Amino acid sequence: MRAAVVSKLEGPEAIEVLDIPEPAGYPGGVVIDVHAAGIAFPDVLMTRGLYQMKPPLPYVVGCEVAGIVREAPEGAHVAAGDRVVALTLLGNAAAEVAVAPVDMVFKLPDNVSLESGAGVLFNDLTVHFCLRNRGRLAEGETVLVHGAAGGIGTSTLRMAQALGAGRVIAVVSTEEKAEVARANGATDVVLTDGWLAAVKELTGNRGVDIVLDPVGGDRFTDSIRSLASAGRLLVVGFTAGDIPTVKVNRLLLKNVEVVGAAWGEWAMSHPGYLREQWEEVAPLLANGKIAPPEPVLYNLEHTAEAVSALDKRTATGKVVVTLR
Neighbours of 49 (CB within 10 A): 14
Number of Cβ within 10 Å of residue 80's Cβ equals: 11
* 3-state SS, residue 249: helix
Q: What is the pLDDT of residues 156-206, one digit of tens each?
A: 999 999 999 999 999 999 999 999 999 999 999 999 999 999 999 999 999
Quote the domain boundaries for residue 212.
123-264
Q: For residue range 227-263, what is the model confidence (pLDDT) as tens digits?
A: 999 999 999 977 656 777 888 888 888 899 999 999 9
pLDDT score recorded for residue 219: 85
Euclidean distance between the first and final Cα of the chain, in Å? 12
Same domain, 225 and 136: yes
CA-nearest of 121, 231, 230 to 169 is 231
CB 36 within 8 A of CB 65: yes
Per-residue pLDDT tens digits for 62-84: 999 999 999 999 999 999 999 99
Residue 99 falls within a domain, yes or no? yes
Number of domains in the chain: 2
Same domain, 141 and 252: yes
Looking at the structure, tell me whether residues 173 and 240 fall in a common domain.
yes
- DSSP codes, 74-125: TT-S--TT-EEEEE-SSS--SBSEEEEEGGGEEEPPTTS-HHHHTTTHHHHH
170 and 237 co-located in one domain: yes
Query: Measured between alpha carbons, how far is 200 from 210 in angstroms, rounded to an integer?
Result: 14
Q: For residue 39, what is the domain's CATH number?
A: 3.90.180.10
pLDDT at 90 over 90: no
Q: Do residues 298 and 241 both lie within one domain?
A: no
Task: Give the type of residue at 118.
Answer: A
Residue partners of 259: CB distance under 8 A and separation at least 6: 134, 135, 232, 233, 234, 235
Residues 225 and 310 in one domain: no
Paired residues of 169 in beta bridges: 144, 188
Q: What is the CA radius of gyration of the chain?
A: 19
Same domain, 254 and 133: yes
